[in-house]
Amino acid sequence: MSTDTDRYIGRFAPSPTGPLHFGSLVCALGSYLDAVAHGGQWLVRMEDLDPPREEPGAAQRILHTLQAHGLHGHGPVLWQSQRHARYDAVLQQLRERQLLYPCHCSRAQIRSNGGHDNERCRAGQFPADGASALRLHSAGASETFDDLWQGPQTQQIREDTILKRRDGLYAYQLAVVVDDIDQGITHIVRGADLLETSGAQQLLFRTLGAAPPQFGHLPLVMGPDGHQKLSKQNHAPAVDDSHPAQNLYSALAFLGFHAAAELAGEAPEHILKWAAARWQRHQVNTRNRQPG
């Protein structure tokens, strides 16, 4: 596990299914500040692996929003859509180690069985319909880690992890881990909605012979009803790029900063420099809540 004395490389990895909303900006800002405050690098990765869900022009709009808010990556943007050969190579390595098996189960079958039946599926006891996913032998494993904000975690992996989907697309779990390994990511700072995926990802890091990064899951920005997080699926409004200073000021307030109102009138670069010099992990309020 990486420590703060190691070289720090963090990242922000949005999917282009829509423009950034305020919750996304909070995650981007938190990951940026944690990296910069610890003398590290901050990279941007575009997780454009699911064309049917992508919104035309969203990727460039996301990058424009980051730039408008002074959130400049310390290296070129990595595009997952350009890395299919790398994902195929990793899948082939896992096949050769006999760690993968084809799964023909549909979502309807999994629902009707109350979850994925690892043993019967591994034995090929469900009827095949031609299309198959690729699953990693992982069920039954237990992963522990100490999250920067959520504290000690123990996660039981109850279902063999899908690494390639039935529709032929590479699964998020495969791509994110392979990319993190190749980019040398040491710290993953992201929203708390992804906390439950961390155990399966940590197992895959170790399966691929890589040291797992330090995980840190930030609180979620909740929507108007107070029960659902702001998300593109819930039609959260896009960040207004014409008011970057005010947006950053509001995001800093959500992350626990108590700054003078005059800061909202400064240039984004000045606000980020001010915040990075004062960033303290313990100040973050870990409760999921509405802004303001």
Query: pLDDT tens-digit profile of 185-198?
Result: 999 999 999 999 99
The dihedral through the CA atoms of 135, 137, 138, 139 has a sign that is positive
Q: Give which of 226, 189, 275, 204 is closest to 13, Cα–Cα.
A: 189
| Token duo for residue 173 | 């779990």
DSSP secondary structure string for all residues of 11-28: EE---SSS--BHHHHHHH
Q: In angstroms, rounded to a whole number, what is the distance separating the alpha carbons of residues 288 and 192? A: 8
Residue 199: C-alpha distances to residues 145, 205, 274 (Å): 8, 10, 35
For the chain, give the mean pLDDT.
94
Query: pLDDT tens-digit profile of 224-253?
Result: 877 788 887 777 899 999 999 999 999 999
**CATH value of 9-283 in 3.30.1130.10, 3.40.50.620, 3.40.462.20, 3.40.630.30:** 3.40.50.620
Answer whether residue 122 shows pLDDT above 80: yes
Are the C-beta atoms of 51 and 219 separated by less than 8 Å?
A: no
Residue 205: pLDDT band by 50, 70, 90 thresholds? very high
How many Cα atoms sit within 13 Å of 62 on the Cβ side? 27
Q: How close are the terminal C-alpha atoms of the chain, in Å?
A: 35
pLDDT at 6: 65
- Please tell me the pTM assigned to this model: 0.94
